[in-house]
Each structure stands twice: as C-alpha cells, then as structure tokens.
Amino acid sequence: MKKVLVGGLCASLIVGLSACNSDTAAPKIPETTKTETAVAVQKALSSGIDFANFDKSVRPQDDFYSYVNGTWIKNTTIPSDRTSSGAFYDLREKSRDDVKAIIEEVAATPNLKAGSDEQKVADLYRSFMDTETLNKLGIKPIQSELDNVSAIKSKDELVTYFAHSQVVGGGTPMAFYIGVDAKNSSRYATHIWQYGLSLPEKDYYFNQDERFVNIRKAFVEHIEKMYTLAGLANPKASAEAVLALETSIAEKHWDVVETRDSTKTYNLYQVKDLATLAPDMNWDGYLATLGADKQADIIINQPSYISGLNDVIKNTDLDTWKTYMQWQVLTHAASSLSEALDTENFEFFSKTLNGQEEQEPRWKRGVSSVNSLLGEVVGKVYVKRHFAPEAKTRMQTLVENLRGSYGDSIESLEWMSADTKVAAKDKLAKFNPKIGYPDRWESYDKLAIKADDLFGNNLRASQLSHEKDLEKLGGPIRTWEWGMTPQTVNAYYNPTMNEIVFPAAILQPPFFNMEADDAVNYGGIGAVIGHEMGHGFDDQGAKFDGEGNMRDWWTEQDLKEFSIRGKALINQYNDYAVFDDLNVNGELTLGENIGDLSGVTIAYRAYKKSLNGQEAPVIDGLTGDQRFFIGFTQIWRAKIKEESMRNRVATDPHSPAQFRSLGALSNMPEFYSTYDVKPGDAMYIAPEKRVKIW
C-alpha cells in the first residue's frame, strides 16, 4: 500500500521520512555476536580509499568525480532489479540483506507467542511472501473499500471519504498530517498538503515533449489494464476520466520550487474560517472523520491549491470523482494484491517511469515491508549485531569537532554582522545530535498482524499510525522520536526540533571506516555531518532559530548578503548539464547544494583542526588533504538509469551525484591548492565568482 508522503520540513541526505516512536522493552529476537569493528591501538590505520575505482586518464583538475570514480562507473552494470548503483544504494542492499537474516531467524523459530513482536515480524513477512493466498484473494481484500466508494451519494460524502481514505492508507487529493508548528515549536499542529497525483509532478500532465506525451499515454493504458485485471467496469473510459481529473488537480498544484518554501507554505487558518477558503468542502465531516475536529486551527500549506480543489470538486460530476477514488483504492493497494496486479503496477511505475528492467525479488520487497511497518523491532536487533559502541563514541567526537569548526567559521565570516553571528552560534549550540538508534523504541503492541492478510496488515498499520499521531495533539514535543530506522542508509536534519540524525546503517564504509585514518572519515561522514548541520543554515533552515521556531533572526543587510550568495549558487548549478536537453534545477536544489558546500567546507576545517598543528601522515602515497577530498568524492559514487535520473531532476531537491562533488569542490580554495587547479582547467572558477556561504 502506498503511503501519503508530504513535503514536510525535514531535510535529508537522500530523502526524509517520518515515524512514530514510544518507549517499550526490546523483543526477544535471536541475536548474534556484535560485529567487531574496533581497531587495535597498535594497528596502522588504512587510507580507506579504493584505488580500483580511479580513472587515471582523467585529470583531477577537470573532473575530480570521474578521476575518483570513473573506472567504477565504466565497469558497473546496474542490476536489472534496480535503477541505481553506488555508495548509498549498495549499502542499502547490504542493510536489507542484514535485516533479511534477522527476519528469517525469527520466521524459523517455532511456537512464537501470539501478539509478540517476533510473531508480528514473522507473519508480516509471511503475508508478503504468500503469493498463493494473494492470488486466490484477487481484489477481495479491497472490495469493502470499493463498495464504500460506490456508496458515496453526495459531494459532502465524497470529502468525508477523502479523510477516511487517508486513515486507511489510500489516496486522496489532500494529505492531512500532524507535525510541529513551525512558528510555535512547543506544540503539534494539524496540516494539509496538496496531494492526489499518480505521476511524479505537475509538469508531467502538461509538458508536450514527446517523452511526457508517451508517459501520459502509457499511464492511461496502465489504468485500463489495472481495471481489466481487477474486473472493474468500463476500463478504457475510466482510465481517460482519471487522467482528465488528475490533470485538473495538477493544474492547481504548486510546483516543486514553491513547495519547498517554508514561508509560503506556512498559512495558519482558524478552522471556523476554512469555509472562506473552500466554501463547497464539507470541512466538518472531513475533520471529524480524521478525529481532528476539536482543533481550533490548522496550517494549510498551499491555500491556493485548496481553493482550486474546491472548484474542481464543484465543477466535476460525482461519478467522475467516484471513478477517481476507485482508482486511488486500486493503485494504492496494488502491491498488496495478486501477482498480476502487483506486476502491472511495477510495469508502469518502476519500468516505464524509472527504467527498472525487472521487479525486485519478492523477498527484498518483503524485507522492505517489514522495515516499513515494524522497522524499530528489527532495528533493535540490527543495532546489536552491526553497530559497535566504539562507532557511536567516535561519531560523537566527530560531531562535536564539526560543531566547533562551524562556530569558528561563523565567527570568521566577513559578510555577517556581530548580532547575526550571536544568533547563528546560539542555534548551532542547540543542535541536538542523534546517533545510531533511538533511546526509546516504538511500541507495536496495538498492531494486529496476520499471516494471511497482507492488505489488512497495511491497513491496520496505517490506522494505528494515524491514532498515534492524533495522540500528539495537546501533548509535549516527542524529542526522542526518530524519523528513520537504525537500518536506514541516510541522515536528516529537522528544523522544528533543530536535530541532526545519523542512523547506524550509514556509519560504515565508505562513509565511516573504523579502520581508516581520520582524513577519509572527515571527508566522508564528516561531510555528511556538516551537510546536515548545513541544513540548519541553508535557504530554508536559516529561517528557523535554535528553538525550532521560524522567525527572522537576521539583520536586513545580512539577509541580503546571504541571498546574494544563494543566487550565485543557483546560477552555478543551473549551468550543469545532466543530459544534452536537461540541466540541474538550481532553485529546487539550492538547500541541498548549500548543505553539500557547507558540509565539505566545515568538515575540512574540522579535519585540519584535529591535526593539532601536526602534518598528516602520507598513506598510500597520498597526503591528508588528498585523502580528505577523495573521501568526500567517493561517497557520491553512483550510476543511475536515465529514466530515473530524469524523474529525479524534475522532483528531487538533491543534485545528481557528480554535481554534488564537483559543485562543492569547485568553490573550495583548499581543493585548488591541493590539486593545483588553474585557469583553463574544467573545474576552475575565478576566485571572485566562487561561493562561500558558511
């Protein structure tokens, strides 16, 4: 079942998610001995660099990314069941293998106690793997929801059903969620975000280039096939109706640049005034069904979208809306239904849109299902097996070294006034780092999992997640919660809590190597730490203070200087060509580009500070500075299918991997001196045009 993901405030290294945690005892899942990663004191540290990946035919001054990763890129074939390979993606495969081992041990344990965490892990995995049962059931699991759609008799009931669909994990044109109030970080608030499109972004509905025309044609054919497989009436007419209605919805959507603007997306409304925004919507029924009707106010992230949706609801006949909601039920449940529906779902969303040649083996998707629904259950065991205490201790030292160097950098800024520096350093001091795993774990006691009910398992998990979110309203901020599981290869910054979070799974080579010299670790995980800290001071994060409140803590002149530098970075990345007909979107990627530039800049400063005035040793023929820059560049090693890359450029706030390396290093004077970059070299930018923000 697809999940409703909204464009909230978290900024991650790859992508941010949300989760709900609470205190509970650890499950009695079989354990093995912890991975031994501590390095003996007398053992010489390695460089941590894989020289087999280098392409020495490339001059580092022209393309440092290809110099470090070029042979790997040439020799790597993306597996047919994936759209990408590389440092992040390969570690994710390793993490999934590690979790699979945990799940299989649990599933092989006889006589698991009903209702225990172990039983839930085993039976959730079984429910996903049992294709025989899924094929026998067909669309029976979703029949009651399809009946609910058929029973809608009015536009008021339609809007009420939007809310119900959200609670059970289905599709809806507007996504309700609960999160910290960006202007009052001491409380949780209700929010509504634009939603309801099947294609990646609004431009996919209007762009007349051949690629987009073909995607829309394939989308209609896909809907028709899904309706036919499900035995639903009027497949062709229904498919055309769905595209037409989604196009009307897309016309009202904000674009991807607007939706990342924290100022524009904060619009606090009194619930009693919602009728002035959308007079034809049944707000009472909608909020009551969500269980949020007692709230006095609500944050509408895109008000003009809600007004526009009101008009679409008013001007579109009820039968068309019911067809659309029927589609939402079917497409969101597809991966939990028969193999035929699951395969057709893959054919369009993964193969046509992203170029994935083959569907992942079912066990991989089963592991992902367990990670999604019961992530912190297996996460506890994952940490015990794969995350040594020494790694957490060393990470804590790195974080504090980066924090100190960030403070030094702020103090040395020539363009920032003393008053703004005080506020910036106050925010930096209040960063809350979370490393490895939560101190309090989520409870799944109320979640019923059955071995023969995959769709029901997902539905009940969605309902429980919604209930847990509702419990936050009126309560204290749950600072112990994590938005990622320990087995996630990623990291994130959350501005409303002013926290930087590094799950256990990312703390391994090439990002973090316990057996390597500090240079490569500062270039790798140090830059990741700096990147997440940098989000606290990117174009959006800089709008939040140390308490997590969105407020103006800048002087007018300082903000002007900051904006000038941001615009220069936008222009730099706009010039990077991904393909002959497609460039990076510098506005969309600005926050991540600031994070990358800030991260590697501060990590380098922290590395030099860690040497205490001593010369770094030469290891494998490389100086410390060389190892640092190589360490940074090798973490961005990646190869991605063209279809997937085109989708990412259109929707992803992260620049493509090669430009995350090249863009940041092209602005660092220390890189120029280390590799003797001069005018005429491809990476050369004139000193007066280089961007230095933090």
Residue 577 has pLDDT above 90, yes or no: yes
User: Closest by alpha carbon to 27, among 119, 117, 123?
Assistant: 117
Residue 351: phi and psi, rounded to 5, are -80, -55
pLDDT at 185 (0 to 100) = 98
pLDDT band, very low/low/confident/very high, at 552 (cuts 50, 70, 90):
very high
- CA–CA distance, 207 with 145 (Å, rounded to integer): 34
Note whether residue 150 is domain-resident. Answer: yes
404 and 540 both lie in a single domain: yes
Evaluate if residue 221 carries a pLDDT over 50.
yes
623 lies in some domain: yes
Q: Hey, how many other C-beta atoms are within 10 angstroms of the C-beta on 216?
A: 17
83-100 pLDDT, tens digit per residue, is 999 999 999 999 999 999
Mean pLDDT of 166-194: 98
Whether 19 has a pLDDT exceeding 50, the answer reads no
Backbone angles phi, psi at 440, to 5 degrees: -125, 135
Report the pLDDT value the prediction gives residue 97, as an integer from 0 to 100.
97
Instruction: Reply yes or no on whether the pLDDT at 3 is more than 50.
Output: no
Structural domains in the chain (count): 2
In degrees, to the nearest 5, what angle opens at C-alpha 637 toward C-alphas 354 and 259? 55
30 has pLDDT over 80 = no
Residues 347 and 416 in one domain: no
**Does one domain contain both 654 and 526?**
yes
% of the chain exceeding 90 in pLDDT: 93
Which stretch of DSSP H or E encloses residue 215?
Answer: helix 210-230
User: Domain holding 500: CATH number?
Assistant: 3.40.390.10
pLDDT at 27 over 90: no
Over 60: is that where the pLDDT of 609 sits? yes
Going by pLDDT thresholds of 50, 70 and 90, the confidence category of residue 13 is low
Predicted pLDDT of residue 98: 97
Res. 576: pLDDT tops 90: yes
Rounded to the nearest integer, the mean pLDDT of the chain is: 93
Say which residue, 57 or 41, is predicted with more confidence: 57
Share of the chain above pLDDT 70, in %: 94
Contact call for residues 665 and 690 (beta carbons, < 8 A): no
Q: How does residue 500 score in pLDDT terms, banded at 50, 70 and 90? A: very high
Is residue 239 predicted with pLDDT exceeding 80? yes
Tell me how far apart the alpha carbons of residues 676 and 64 are, in angstroms, rounded to a whole number: 12
Please write the tens of the pLDDT for every residue from 610-622.
999 999 999 999 9
> Are 403 and 350 part of one and the same domain?
no
User: Does position 32 have pLDDT exceeding 50, yes or no?
Assistant: no
Read off the pLDDT of each residue in 571-591 and give the average, rounded to a whole number: 97
Phi, psi of 281 (to 5 degrees): -95, 140
Does one domain contain both 662 and 546?
A: yes
Would you say residue 456 lies in a domain?
Answer: no
Domain housing 296: 140-363
One domain for residues 280 and 406? no
Q: Does 180 map to a domain?
A: yes
CA 85 to chain centre: 17
Q: Is the pLDDT of residue 243 over 80?
A: yes
| Residue 126 Cα distances to 131, 277, 461, angstroms | 9, 47, 16
Q: Same domain, yes or no, for 287 and 338?
A: yes
Do residues 411 and 330 both lie within one domain?
no
CA–CA separation, 266 and 301 (whole Å): 6
Same domain, 349 and 424: no
pLDDT at 44: 73
pLDDT of residue 7: 44
Q: Which of 5-14, 312-321, 327-336, 551-560 shows the lowest per-residue confidence on average (mean pLDDT)?
A: 5-14
- Whether 627 shows a pLDDT value over 80: the answer reads yes
pLDDT at 527 over 70: yes
Asked if the model's pLDDT at residue 22 lies above 90, the reply is no
Task: Provide the pLDDT for residue 14.
Answer: 59
Q: Does 171 fall in a domain?
A: yes
Looking at the structure, do residues 423 and 341 belong to the same domain, yes or no? no
Residue 546's alpha-carbon distances to 235, 261, 497, in angstroms, are 54, 19, 8
The CATH number covering residue 154 comes to 1.10.1380.10
- The band of 119, judged by pLDDT with boundaries at 50, 70 and 90, is very high
Both 358 and 403 in one domain: the answer is: no
Asked whether residue 200 falls in the same domain as residue 286, the answer is yes
**Residue 331 is assigned to a structural domain of this protein:** yes
| pLDDT tens-digit series, residues 488-498 | 999 999 999 99
Whether residue 36 has pLDDT greater than 50 = no
Q: Where are the beta strands (DSSP E) in 439-515?
A: 492-494, 499-503
Q: Is residue 40's pLDDT more than 60?
A: no
In a domain, 599, yes or no: yes
Contact 639, 86 (CB under 8 A): yes
Contact criterion met (CB below 8 Å) for 81 and 364: yes
Q: What is the pLDDT of residues 657-683, one digit of tens each?
A: 999 999 999 999 999 999 999 999 999
* Integer Cα distance of 635 and 317 in angstroms: 52
272 lies in some domain = yes
